């Protein structure tokens, strides 16, 4: 032991590279090990460059088109400036091809194919505006318009006009369902449809929290909210499709109110809903009061002040007050999605008070 009784007696430190007397012959000098700079973690190898995608040649509406392999027919149409209608498609979600308004005719295919998910193939002959395509799109829009309130779905209303869809062709709408009745319909338990009226999904609006409302009279069952709440963004899985056929509807687990569900109020479902079925309560209340005026609104881009992630925000302002908040789809930080704070935590801006005189 040393004189202070604390440290072990060691032979004096030799010069670097020279072994201590106590170290076995041939051993790597301890000083070398101690003085060597720590090994830096090796960087992960750079990902291999994306292989250039082979070009595919196909025909769209009689025009020869060349597009990278793996593209969808919708992408090929858009590259040609062909305005293809979509309702369930969104760039930042996985295509589920359920709304069927983007269908096109492919020579040799028995049925019309959804352009949003069908990949291009060499030699494909695609028709986007044939009688068959227009007829199918018109019929789908008539089904939707006869059973769903599309009054806050500008794109659907535009398609109805474009394809001359007669949303009244199935007669007057059937009576609305009382609150909660559609939520109780059992899968596989079918009811006879009305014979002198058009079936409707009309029902009272669900207002069960202060942040957003669910008006399933306006739901076209596009699945976008389910995808945004699930694997495509939030991974919370608070909502899903329940029921079958005309009874199918978006539901929380066991149809519980939103505050009793797994919902974390990120509002990403509102951000993707194409019909206004899911809506900020602020917007819902202003519409009810007759004060909602999109033409009087301005948009200010900013960064969320709550944390260091730096989410891009679009503040929608009317009468000098923030009325809703969205995030751009092409933001590399958010992909259009936010959390509860960025989406709904804007009241403090209005509540600051007059400030110093």
103-106 and 125-127: which strand pairing? antiparallel
Shortest Å distance, C-beta 296 to ligand SF4: 25
Shortest Å distance, C-beta 238 to ligand SF4: 4
Alpha-carbon distance values, 307 to 95, 302, 328, 336, 341 (Å): 32, 13, 18, 17, 9
Q: How many CA atoms within 13 Å lie on the side-chain side of 183?
A: 19
Shortest Å distance, C-beta 272 to ligand SF4: 6
Which is closer to ligand SF4, CB of 35 or CB of 179? Answer: 179
Question: Which residues make Cβ contacts (< 8 Å) with residue 92, sequence separation at least 6?
Answer: 232, 233, 329, 335, 336, 337
Which is closer to ligand SF4, CB of 65 or CB of 99? Answer: 99
Contact indicator for 198, 171 with CB cutoff of 8 Å: yes
- Please identify which residue in 65, 124, 133, 229 interacts with ligand SF4, judged by CB under 6 A: 229
Shortest Å distance, C-beta 75 to ligand SF4: 22
Contact indicator for 308, 323 with CB cutoff of 8 Å: no
Which is closer to ligand SF4, CB of 250 or CB of 312? Answer: 250
Does 331 interact with ligand SF4 (rule: CB under 6 A)?
no
d(CA 30, CA 32): 5
- Please identify which residue in 113, 133, 144, 219 interacts with ligand SF4, judged by CB under 6 A: 219
Q: Which of residues 240-299 bind ligand SF4 (CB under 6 A)?
A: 250, 263-269, 272-275, 277-278
Shortest Å distance, C-beta 327 to ligand SF4: 13
d(CA 178, CA 172): 18
Does 101 interact with ligand SF4 (rule: CB under 6 A)?
no
Return residues touching ligand SF4 (CB under 6 A). 219-225, 228-229, 234, 236, 238-239, 250, 263-269, 272-275, 277-278
């Amino acid at each position: 032991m040393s004189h202070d009784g604390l440290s072990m007696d060691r032979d004096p430190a030799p010069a670097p590279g020279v072994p201590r007397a106590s170290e076995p012959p041939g051993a790597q000098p301890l000083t070398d090990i101690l003085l060597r700079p720590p090994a830096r973690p090796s960087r992960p190898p750079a990902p291999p460059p994306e292989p250039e995608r082979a070009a595919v040649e196909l025909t769209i509406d009689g025009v020869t088109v060349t597009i990278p392999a793996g593209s969808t027919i919708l992408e090929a149409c858009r590259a040609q400036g062909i305005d293809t209608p979509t309702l369930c498609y969104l760039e930042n979600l996985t295509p589920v091809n359920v709304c069927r308004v983007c269908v096109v005719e492919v020579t040799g295919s028995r049925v019309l194919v959804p352009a949003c998910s069908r990949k291009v193939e060499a030699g494909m002959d695609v028709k986007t505006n044939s009688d068959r395509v227009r007829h199918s799109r018109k019929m789908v829009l008539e089904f939707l318009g006869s059973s769903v309130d599309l009054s806050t779905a500008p794109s659907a209303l535009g398609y109805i006009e474009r394809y001359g869809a007669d949303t009244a062709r199935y007669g007057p709408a059937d009576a609305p369902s009382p609150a909660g009745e559609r939520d109780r319909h059992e899968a596989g338990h079918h009811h006879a449809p009305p014979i002198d009226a058009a079936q409707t999904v009309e029902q009272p609006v669900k207002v069960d929290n202060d942040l957003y409302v669910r008006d399933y009279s306006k739901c076209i069952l596009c699945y976008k909210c389910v995808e945004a709440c699930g694997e495509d963004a939030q991974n919370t899985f608070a909502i899903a499709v329940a029921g079958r056929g005309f009874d199918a509807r978006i539901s929380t687990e066991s149809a519980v109110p939103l505050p009793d569900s797994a919902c974390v109020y990120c509002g990403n479902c509102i951000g993707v809903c194409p019909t206004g079925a899911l809506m900020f309560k602020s917007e819902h209340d202003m519409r009810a009061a007759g004060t909602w005026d999109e033409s009087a609104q301005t948009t200010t881009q900013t960064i969320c002040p709550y944390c260091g992630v730096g989410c891009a925000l679009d503040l929608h302002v009317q009468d000098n007050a923030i009325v809703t908040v969205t995030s751009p789809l092409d933001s590399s930080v958010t992909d259009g999605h936010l959390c509860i704070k960025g989406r709904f935590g804007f009241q403090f801006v209005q509540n600051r008070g007059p400030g110093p005189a």
